[in-house]
Structure 1
Amino acid sequence: MISTFAAWMALLLFAGSMIFAGLKDVTTMTIRNRLVLGLAGVYLLLAPAAGFGVEAMLFSGAVAAAVFACTFVLFAFGWIGGGDAKLSAVAVLWLGPELAIPYVIYASVFGAFLTLALLQYRRLPLPALLQQMGWPGRLHSTSTGVPYGVALALATLLLLPESGWIAGIV
């Protein structure tokens, strides 16, 4: 009973946090460290309660660390934001090692489509109403990057049903 409740709580918190991160990235172009650290902390609390063993958690942490190392290199080259690097690592922590490669592939594909859509959006003139709203203007500016948190959130939501968290529910 506790493991089912923990798995449900984890799914709701993780999915909701990833959606929040994607929306926040679109509107502010930032993913807060507090959110990423909170997700890591909640994982450490709920994973054992949901029935994850220490070995599974350590393996998931190791793969997440490897993802962080790779994405940190991308960040160092200026290709992605620091929040994106941290969020992708914590997403892999939650999804598990078996979904790490599909996650990176889906995030890359969604990121490519997002980038193409954003390039098209930036080619169009921005109506005055949207300019006054703030974030649509920032998103329209060619001097800002791509809110890749959206692609990371979509990839997470797509793969979450295949994760070990569902096993704690069914």
Structure 2
Amino acid sequence: MLEASVFVIFPFCMAFAAVSDMVSMTIANRVSLILVAAFLVLAPLTGMSWPAVGLHLAAGVAVLMVTFTLFAIGGMGGGDAKLMAATAVWFGFGIGLADYLVTSALAGGALTLALLMFRKSPLAMLAGNNTLLRHFADEKAGIPYGVALGLGGLLAYGETPLMQWALARLAG
């Protein structure tokens, strides 16, 4: 049951955040809260030491400080900032966090370029009334960066300590 929670909660939150940002250009606070709360419940149950849990929380705080600064200067949305910080809690300090941040940045850059081209294409007029694509087509809308964060999180998720623990439990 514990392994199932590890397999479901994080991926569901990442997918939900991506779709939510596509549809409404917002990422609900509850997504970030669920991620942090689930980590705080699951980590000790998987045998993670309290100092390690503290370091994971410190990773989240460090990412929040950077993303909050970006939010304050208008470089990032508030939901994106909170989602990145909550996701960082699952990764902790290490190569997994770096992989998540780089993957999300590359996905965000690709998404931005694709949306800029799409918004100038004739297809944008056809997609303007589609619930999932209307913000992609709207030249006045921002970039739903939650899509890139969700994709980056899903691609790097295998590097989180909790996922590695769950995979080891299933293999052994």
TM-score, normalised via structure 1 length: 0.90
Indicate the residue corresponding to 2:34 in structure 1.
38
Q: TM-score, normalised by structure 2?
A: 0.89
CA contact (8 A) 1:26 1:147 kept: yes
1:83 and 1:39 mapped to 2: Cα distance?
A: 13
Aligned to 1:56: 52
**Letter matched to residue 33 of structure 1:** N
Identity %: 35
What corresponds to 1:133 in structure 2?
A: 130
Which aligned pairs between 1:29-108 and structure 2 lie closer than 5 A?
29-98=25-94, 99-108=96-105
8 Å contact kept, 1:11–1:165: no
Match of 2:152 among 150, 155, 158: 155
Which runs of no fewer than 5 residues in structure 2 stay unpaired?
A: none
Distance in 2 between residues matched to 1:20 and 1:95, nearest whole Å: 19
Task: Give, in angstroms, the shift of residue 47 of structure 1.
Answer: 1.1
Deviation for aligned residue 1:135? 4.7
Query: SS state of the match for residue 142, structure 1?
Result: coil
1:36-82 Cα offsets, whole Å, 9 max, x none, are 11211111111111221111110011111010000011111111100
Kindly report the root-mean-square deviation, in angstroms, between the aligned alpha carbons of the 2 structures: 1.5
Choose from 21, 25, 36 the match for 2:21: 25
Q: Distance in 1 between matches of 2:139 and 2:74?
A: 15
Assess if the C-alpha contact under 8 Å between 1:51 and 1:168 holds in 2. Answer: no
Instruction: Note if contact 2:22-2:135 (Cα within 8 Å) is conserved in structure 1.
Output: no
Contact 1:60 1:92 in 2 (8 A): yes
Deviant stretches of 4+, over 6 Å: none
1:114 corresponding residue in structure 2: 111
Q: CA contact under 8 A between 1:7 and 1:46: conserved in structure 2?
A: no
Structure 1 unaligned blocks of 5 or more: none
CA distance in 1, matches of 2:133, 2:116: 13
What's the counterpart of residue 142 of structure 2?
145
